[in-house]
Amino acid sequence: MSSRKIYIPRLSKFSYIFPDPRESSKEGLVAWGGDLSPNRILSAYAQGIFPWYNEEDPILWWSPDPRLVLFLDDIKVSRSLKQSMKKYEVKFDTNFSAVINMCRNVRVARGEKTWILKEVIEKYTLLYEMGFAHSVETYDKEGNLVGGLYGISLGGVFCGESMFSIKPDASKTALVVLSRKLKEWDFDFIDCQVPSEHLKRMGAKEIDRDTFLDLLQAALQKPSKIQKW
């Protein structure tokens, strides 16, 4: 029995052109290589592609099929979560550095691998300074940062990257408040990228990649909210 080799193109550091994600495998590996320059990252997100790789890997660019999406009207808030949310205060863009580092550190402390490498933190922090990346922070009554998330905003879509929580429901609280705020701002949906049972329980749905890419292009027709939130 012979196995069929799949060719994955290598990106040039001198061009931001990506292969068409619709033509990649269902696993969604679109390309490898290139760099994490802000322009390349933004070009990737605008095409439904995101970087995701381990420290020992080259930069890998993905557009999986199916895609996990949270439509803003579908967010589920259980009775217990409603009670938990009363314990916290949620803020936007007041401590991006702490949030992205906590998303990394909590995973490392659990003995898990993380794609939030030093170069990722550096480049996404630059995107934050440019107004494209944002953090949502959950604080307890003592003012301690206990949960949150970060991601990229383009047009009418928020591309979620990672979440962390060190107190019960702290990251869920951030997601609920973010969903409500995005609805006020006329966003279309949150791109949750990779299927997750945790996010499905909160209302996220798997959709096929072609549908996602069509929805993304429609959402990108809206002006980007490029400013601190």
Two structure tokens written together for 13: 């550091």
pLDDT band for position 13 (50/70/90)?
confident
The residue ranges of every structural domain in the chain are 10-64, 68-219
More confident residue, 35 or 55: 35
| Separation CA 165–CA 1 (nearest Å) | 47
**Digit-coded pLDDT (tens) for 151-177:** 999 999 999 999 999 999 999 999 999
The pTM is what? 0.94
Cβ atoms of 108 and 164 within 8 Å: the answer is no
What are the φ and ψ backbone dihedral angles of 204, each rounded to 5 degrees?
A: -70, 150
CATH class of 10-64: alpha beta
Mean pLDDT of the chain: 95
Predicted local confidence at residue 64, as pLDDT: 96
**Is 90 exceeded by the pLDDT of residue 6?**
no
pLDDT band for position 4 (50/70/90)?
low
Average pLDDT over residues 61-90: 97
The beta-strand segments (E) located in 144-215 are 145-154, 157-165, 189-193, 205-207
Cβ atoms of 70 and 197 within 8 Å: the answer is no
CATH (residue range 68-219): 3.40.630.70
Predicted local confidence at residue 2, as pLDDT: 42
pLDDT band for position 106 (50/70/90)?
very high
Predicted local confidence at residue 184, as pLDDT: 96
Burial of 160 (0-12, 13-18, 19+ CB in 10 A): buried
Q: Would strands 89-92 and 133-139 be described as parallel, antiparallel, or unpaired?
A: antiparallel
